[in-house]
Amino acid sequence: MKSFVSDPSEHNSFFENDNPHGVVKRHIFRRHCEAFVAKTQNCKLQTIIYDAFAGAGYYVGLPNVKNSYGSPLICLDVVIKYFQQKSTSTLVYSPFTQEVQDIKPIVKDIQMPESEDRVVLNFSEANRDNCLKLVNNIVLFLRTSIGDAFFISLNNDGVMTISSYNEEYPFCINIANAEFIQVRPPDDKPYRRLLTFIDPFGYSQIPMKHVQRFIGERREAFINFMSSYVNRFKNVKSNETAIIELYGFSDEERNECLQNLQVMSDHDEDGINRCVQMYETKLKKQAESTYILGFTVRNKKNVRLYHLIFITNHIKGFKAMKEAMKSGSQDADSLSVSDYHVEKNGMQLSLVNKQDIRVVAAKIYERFQGQNNVNIKVIENFIWFKTPYVWRKKPLKILQKEPEDHPRLTNVKDKDGKKPSKKYTYPGVTEWLLTFRPKSDAELSKNLHKLKLE
């Protein structure tokens, strides 16, 4: 496939080559976009995606074309692929994405008016050169995917709009040469769903007062929180205002909160965790959002570089993003990636879920051992919200079968006492009640002895 770069000689060096963590970040974003676009469109909602720091749209020098897409082309690729599945067009297009399975409509949602575009992509980029490259890259991308079935207009406010007039591809793209703080989200409507990607170069460009406009009811955001920068410069007096605005500290809480931040050591891992936790707490409070997820990124020295934070009010959004993060994680037992392990230790960058079902089974047994009639939904929620894993039923099968002479899951029944028609299955239409064997006296003694030694 040809490069979608308008003029290779004029590239900003940032978009030449990339680190493993950059590939992972964009993979996570792609996976979530696939779920977000498919679910909102299948529910007849209007899909709106904002990319607040869009860049030029393409990375030069990467061996895989798919990994070369910047976030704007990822959005466009996912949207075109979705409509391609529904299209009767004779155009040949083979995008590099996977189908999203098990899409169920949300009955309570209000369908969007037919007069509006079904998908609206909004890209803002403050650097003028990168913004021009982005426009050219998008135009070239469209020509190779849907032909010339689009027109370009320039609005009075300086926003360039690229609209498809092929009814099988009902989307439009708005491109603004603007700072994030100059961009406003769309008016809130019951039929609209908004996903915002906020990926700045530092922390001074994303004040909480503005970020909170993009999160809340029917709005979710994927944020690159530059925790290492915050930790490094938190004690510099000249950065105090930027820190206050980043967290959205009120006048009443600013002194105490600044002190809490400033006492943290630059090399204190727990301190960085508290720095991130404080931001997540403020984010949830300001947006009145329910669900939040974090993904840790480490550099070539295995030092934490930044955290990817996702916030939403929708349980399906939470689960879709955790699936995406889990597939991008290079550690089976956490949500994280380290350039050190990939570049220094030779770990192969793998973008699939690597969780071990036996480890997950052990976590379930550790939590529910000795308990009777535990609702399977309780176990599912434990995995989703209290562990770094995603929910699968296979660990239950492991617990029910192993060890063969002493299975840890001893009974499965419904509320009327009936067992599943097929052993080692747990059909989703029934809320099964599970009973777990308590640890034997020998195991308890062994664990107690271990605790005493520690």
Q: Supply angle C-alpha 32, 86, 154, rounded to 5.
A: 70
> In the predicted model, is pLDDT for residue 97 greater than 50?
no
Q: Supply angle C-alpha 125, 127, 128, rounded to 5.
A: 100
Contact by Cβ (8 Å): 426, 398: no
pLDDT of the residue at 297: 94
pLDDT of the residue at 15: 43
Q: Which long-range contacts link 83-87 to residues 24+ away (Cβ below 8 Å)? A: 83/168, 83/169, 83/170, 83/171, 86/168, 87/168, 87/169
- pLDDT tens-digit profile of 237-258? 677 888 889 998 888 877 777 7
Report how far residue 269's alpha carbon sits from residue 296's, in angstroms, rounded to the nearest whole number: 12
Q: Is 207 helix (H, G, I), strand (E, B) or coil?
A: coil
- pLDDT tens-digit profile of 408-444? 999 999 999 999 999 999 998 889 999 999 987 446 4
Q: What is the pTM of this model?
A: 0.85
Task: Report CA-CA distances (Å) from 50 to 119, 255, 280.
Answer: 11, 34, 21
> Where does the pLDDT of residue 67 fall: very low under 50, low under 70, confident under 90, or very high at 90 and above?
low
Report how far residue 75's alpha carbon sits from residue 169's, in angstroms, rounded to the nearest whole number: 14
- Average the pLDDT over each of 76-85, 263-272, 275-284 and give the range with the smallest value: 263-272
Between these two residues, 3 and 142, which has the higher pLDDT value? Answer: 142
> Where does the pLDDT of residue 263 fall: very low under 50, low under 70, confident under 90, or very high at 90 and above?
low
Give the pLDDT mean for 185-194: 94
> In the predicted model, is pLDDT for residue 13 greater than 60?
no
Give the pLDDT mean for 61-88: 81
Name the residue among 228, 222, 400, 227 with its Cα closest to residue 322: 222
For the record, the structure tokens of 137 come out as 């890259």
pLDDT of the residue at 6: 40
